[in-house]
Amino acid sequence: MTESTLLELRRGAIILAVLSQLGEAHYGYSLRQHLAEIGFDINEGTLYPLLRRLESQGLLESSWDDGDGRRRRYYRISPAGKEVLGALIHEWRALVEVMNRALIDFE
Amino acid sequence: MELVERYVYAVGRHLPRKMRADVEPELHSLLLDSVESRSEESGQPATDELIAEVLKEFGPPRKMATSYMPQPQYVVGPQLFPVYLLVLTIVACVLAAMQAFGFMVAVAGVPLFSAEAGRLFGSGLLNLGASLLSAIGSITLTFYILERVIPHASLEEDVEWDPTKLPASVRVNDRISVPGQVVTICIMLGLLILFNFFPQVIGVYNYSNGEWTFSPMLAPTFRHFMPWFNVAWLGTLAMSVWLLVRGRWEPAMRWADLAREIFSAIVLLMVATGPSLVGAGAGISANDLIQALGNAAEAVATGVDMSIRTACGIAFVVVCVGALAKLLQLVRAPGKPLVEFKRQ
C-alpha cells in the first residue's frame, strides 16, 4: 500500500482526533505529544497548519500565553466546533459499524 | 538556534505578507518546543545537527508554507479549467487555420519547392509560434483574473439539479467536435470576406530592386464562379452553425450535409475542367506578370493554374468518395453508421 493511500484514509480521522482532544487547551507541540500518547501520530507539517485551518473555519479558538517562560498559542474547541464534533462522532461510529460488517470476511 | 530562525524566515517568504506575522511566531515557538524535547530525550545539547534533524521532520519550507495556505493555490482552478482548455483549443485551432490560409495565399504565386516558399513557410511557423504564445498568455491571464473575481460558490453545480432534465446521450458517431466547427466557421467567413470584398489583394507579390510589386492574379472569369463558391462556402458555414446549435449530428443534418457535399463536388469539377481562373492567358495582363516576375511569368501562371486544377481534381475525388460513403450509410440503415466506434 502506498503512503498516499494511507494518508488519504487517515485524513478525515485527523480532524476528528484533533477536535476530540481539544476540550482542554493545548499548544501545537503538547497536542501532538498528547495524540502520540494515545497512539495517533501526526507529523508536524500536517498538524500545525491544520490547527490554523480549523481555527479559520471557526471550529477552534486560540489565544497566546506566556506561561512556562515561552510564548505559545493555545487552542481549544469552540462552541461551533463542539457541534461539528458531535456530528463527526455520530458519523464515525456509524462508519465503523458499517466497515466492520463490510470487512467481516477479512478477519 | 540560527537554523530555526532561518527555517522560519524561509517559510515566511512563501506565505502571503498578511499571514507571516501570525504564522512565524507560532512556528518559531513550535520549533523551539520540538528541539527542546528532542534534546531532553536524547540527553544531548541542541546542536545544529539535532536541529537539522527536527527541521527535516517539519519538511521543506515551501511545503510547510503551502500547508498553511487556506486553500490550494491555482492559476486556473479545477472548476474553470475545462472551459480554459476549450478556449485554448479553439483559439489554437483558429490561429493555425488562419496561418495556414495566410501561407497558402502568400505562396500562391511562388514555386512550391523554391527558397522563397521555404522562407514563407519558416516565417509562417514563427508567426504561428509567436501568436500562439501571445494568445496562451492572454487567455491564461484572463482566466487567472476570473479565478479570483468570480465567487467560487457561483461555479459550483446547482445542488438542486434534476436528473430527468439531463440532455439525451449522444452516440459516439453522432458527436461533433466543437473546436473543429469553430475553425470551419472562421475559415468560411475568411474565404467569404476575402473573395467577395478584397479580391484585389489576391495576386503575385514580388520584391525586386528594393520595392514590392504586385499583380492581381484572379482572372475576370473568376467572377462568374463567385456565386457558386459563395453558395458552397455559405452552405458549409450554415452546416457548422447548425451543428454547433444542435450539438450533435441528426438524420436531417446528414442529408443536408450530403447535398452540400454533392454541390461542392460539382463546383470543384467545374473549376478543375472549366476556364482558367488565373494566369496571363485568362485575363491578367501579361505585362503585369512580366513586370512582377520577369520571363518566368508565363511559367508561374501556368504552374499556379495547373496546381489549382490538380488540387480541385483531387478534392473532387475525395469529396465524391466521402459523399458516397455518407449516402450508403444513410440508405443502408439510417441509424447505423458504416463504422461504429465503440468505447472500451
CB contact (8 A) between residue A33 and residue B64: no
| Residue A60 Rama label (left phi>0; alpha psi -120 to 50; beta) | beta
Query: Which whole number is the average pLDDT over B339-344?
Result: 53
Least confident of A97-106, B48-57, B149-158: B149-158
How many Å separate Cα A73 from the centre of its chain?
17
Helices B2-13 & B61-68 angle (0-180, nearest 10) = 50
The pLDDT value recorded for residue B342 is 54
A45 contact residues in B (CB cutoff 8 A): 58-59, 63-64, 67
The pLDDT value recorded for residue B238 is 94
CB contact (8 A) between residue B33 and residue A70: yes
The pLDDT value recorded for residue B306 is 81
Query: Which whole number is the average pLDDT over A81-89?
Result: 95
DSSP chain A: --HHHHHHHHHHHHHHHHHHHTTS-EEHHHHHHHHHHTT----HHHHHHHHHHHHHTTSEEEEEE-GGGS-EEEEEE-HHHHHHHHHHHHHHHHHHHHHHHHTGGG-
Of the candidates B312, B253, B227, the one whose C-alpha atom is nearest the C-alpha of residue B278 is B312
A65–chain B nearest CA distance, Å: 11
Given a cut of 60, is residue B17 above it in pLDDT? Answer: yes
Asked casually if ipTM beats, i.e. exceeds, 0.90, the reply is: no
CB contact (8 A) between residue B58 and residue A70: no
Query: The C-alpha cell of B160 is what?
Result: 438542486
Spatial distance between the Cα atoms of B188 and B223, rounded to a whole number of angstroms: 18
Q: Are B193 and B230 in contact (CB under 8 A)?
A: no
Domains and their CATH numbers in chain A: 3-106 (1.10.10.10)
CB contact (8 A) between residue B26 and residue A45: no
Rg (CA), chain B: 32
Given a cut of 90, is residue B232 above it in pLDDT? Answer: yes
CA-CA-CA-CA torsion sign (A45, A50, A51, A55): positive
Residues near B49 by beta carbon (within 8 Å), at least 6 away in sequence: none
Given a cut of 50, is residue B269 above it in pLDDT? Answer: yes
Query: Which of A97-101, B156-160, B293-297: highest mean pLDDT?
Result: A97-101
Given a cut of 90, is residue A96 above it in pLDDT? Answer: yes
Other beta carbons less than 10 A from residue B131's beta carbon: 16
Give residue ranges of A with CB < 8 Å to any B CB.
Answer: 27-30, 33, 43-46, 48-50, 52-53, 56, 70-73
Query: The C-alpha cell of B191 is what?
Result: 474565404
| Residue A69 Rama label (left phi>0; alpha psi -120 to 50; beta) | left
Query: Which whole number is the average pLDDT over A13-27?
Result: 94
Least confident of A4-8, A73-77, B112-116, B136-140: B112-116
Given a cut of 80, is residue B8 above it in pLDDT? Answer: yes
Residue whose grid cell is 478534392: B315
Over residues B28-83, the pLDDT tens digits come to: 999 999 999 889 888 888 888 899 989 998 889 998 998 888 766 788 888 888 88
Q: Are B284 and B301 in contact (CB under 8 A)?
A: yes
The H or E element spanning position B318 is helix B297-332
A89–chain B nearest CA distance, Å: 25
Over residues A46-67, the pLDDT tens digits come to: 899 999 999 999 999 999 988 7
Spatial distance between the Cα atoms of B277 and B297, rounded to a whole number of angstroms: 16
Over residues B271-325, the pLDDT tens digits come to: 888 888 775 444 444 455 555 555 555 666 677 778 888 888 999 999 999 899 8
- Predicted structure pTM score: 0.56
Spatial distance between the Cα atoms of A90 and A85, rounded to a whole number of angstroms: 9
Given a cut of 80, is residue B154 above it in pLDDT? Answer: no
Q: Which of A44, A46, A71 sits opposite B34 (nearest CB)?
A: A44
Angle formed at CA B60 by CA B56 and CA B62, multiple of 5 degrees:
160
The H or E element spanning position B181 is helix B178-197
CB contact (8 A) between residue A43 and residue B32: no
The pLDDT value recorded for residue A19 is 96
B26 contact residues in A (CB cutoff 8 A): 28, 48, 72-73
Spatial distance between the Cα atoms of B170 and B108, rounded to a whole number of angstroms: 42
Q: How many residues does chain B have?
A: 344
Least confident of B24-33, B37-46, B99-108, B200-209: B200-209
Mean pLDDT of chain B: 81
**Chain B interface disruption, residue of A32, A42, A48, most B CBs within 10 A:** A48
